[in-house]
Amino acid sequence: MLHLRLRVPADLVDEVLADLEQDDTVTNVAVVPGGFRKPAGTLVLADVARESATAVIGRLRTLKVQHRGSISIEQLDTVLSDDATRAEVAAPGAPDDAVVWESVEQRLRDSSRLSWVFIAFMTIAAALAGVGRITDQPILIVGAMVVGPEFAPIAALCFGFARPRLSMVPLAVRALVVGFAIATMIATIFWWVLFQLGGFTREQATSGPLTDFIVSPDGWSFVVGILAGVAGMLSLTTAKSEVLVGVFISVTTIPALGTVAVCLACGAWGDVVSAAAQLGLNLVAIVLAGTCTLLLQRLIWQRITPTRLHIGR
């Protein structure tokens, strides 16, 4: 179940309540007149089955509640109520499969915003990947994959194409391009200084049987990127977010970026090209698969949950 907290202007209260009360998938509707002081408004609370949340929120947005008031959405982990159980049963599909598009969009907009923290994590991840390549330690490569924040803007890019929310596309591209560029520049300077000081050799930067996959883009790289894109979007849009860590560990974006920086520092131009190709191949595969996954989910849920489903008992 999801919990809705609404700030509703006085002239819309009756219409909003009528809509919520006539929906079989909505329960625990409460009203607190004058519940908001700044800005003023009526507090309306309700619990809604996750599967029909998009339809319910869509109707609230049609009433312009988001412009004249506000709509807050919270995930409820435990609700002990026979009424809530009946509301859940009335909703089509399974809760874990449901997509609350508004929540996904807001989360992706927030997490893909370019910031100093985003750049810091990108740089740290690139440096970790560089250490992993030089020392040929896959565990460090895995650590870099987990630390890297690049999947959020990639997912935002997919969402922008699929929903569509084209205003998200330039913001996501900006975060990726600027983040990759700054992280590569800082990491390259760092590795260049260490290389000049004798901290590592060109042979260390270009050899290592356990991490050679980073500079060996092939068809399997594209396949892994496709699978990661599908799994990543499913984990972001459904209730299976714990799968996302596995997605981070399966794609070779940050490892390729870190390798590019190391090889630029020591002049290993061949590996620079190979690692950059690996990065581009993974990005294309993830964006393609992620966009198609979202389009398919959108099509399926449009058929499962028509806008007026469960209204007018």
DSSP per residue, 270-282: HHHHHHHHHHHHH
Kindly state the DSSP code that residue 111 receives in the 8-state scheme: H
pLDDT at site 191: 96
Looking at residues 263-270, what average pLDDT do you find?
A: 95
Looking at residues 185-199, what average pLDDT do you find?
A: 96
Q: What percent of the chain has pLDDT over 70?
A: 93
Does the pLDDT of residue 35 top 70, yes or no?
A: yes
Q: What angle do CA 21, 52, 289 make, to 5 degrees?
A: 165
pLDDT at site 97: 74
Which two structure tokens, joined as six digits, stand for 248?
A: 């981070």
Does the pLDDT of residue 312 top 80, yes or no?
A: no
**Coil, strand or helix: which one is 28?**
strand
Contact (CB, 8 A) for 75 and 95 = no
Looking at residues 217-239, what average pLDDT do you find?
A: 88
- Give the confidence band of 46 by pLDDT, cuts at 50, 70, 90: very high
CA 126 to chain centre: 20
* Rounded distance between C-alpha atoms, residue 122 and residue 110, angstroms: 16
Angle formed by the axes of helices 138-147 and 254-266, nearest 10°: 120
- Give the confidence band of 112 by pLDDT, cuts at 50, 70, 90: confident
Does the pLDDT of residue 188 top 60, yes or no?
A: yes
Whole-model pTM: value is 0.84
Whole-number mean pLDDT of the chain?
Answer: 90
Looking at residues 54-60, what average pLDDT do you find?
A: 92
Longest dimension (CA), the chain: 77
* Rounded distance between C-alpha atoms, residue 258 and residue 188, angstroms: 9
Does the pLDDT of residue 243 top 80, yes or no?
A: no
Q: What percent of the chain has pLDDT over 90?
A: 69
pLDDT at site 311: 41
**% helix, strand, coil for the chain, step of 5:** 65, 10, 20
* Rounded distance between C-alpha atoms, residue 188 and residue 145, angstroms: 18
pLDDT at site 10: 94
pLDDT at site 91: 86
Looking at residues 143-160, what average pLDDT do you find?
A: 92
- Give the confidence band of 158 by pLDDT, cuts at 50, 70, 90: very high
pLDDT at site 202: 94
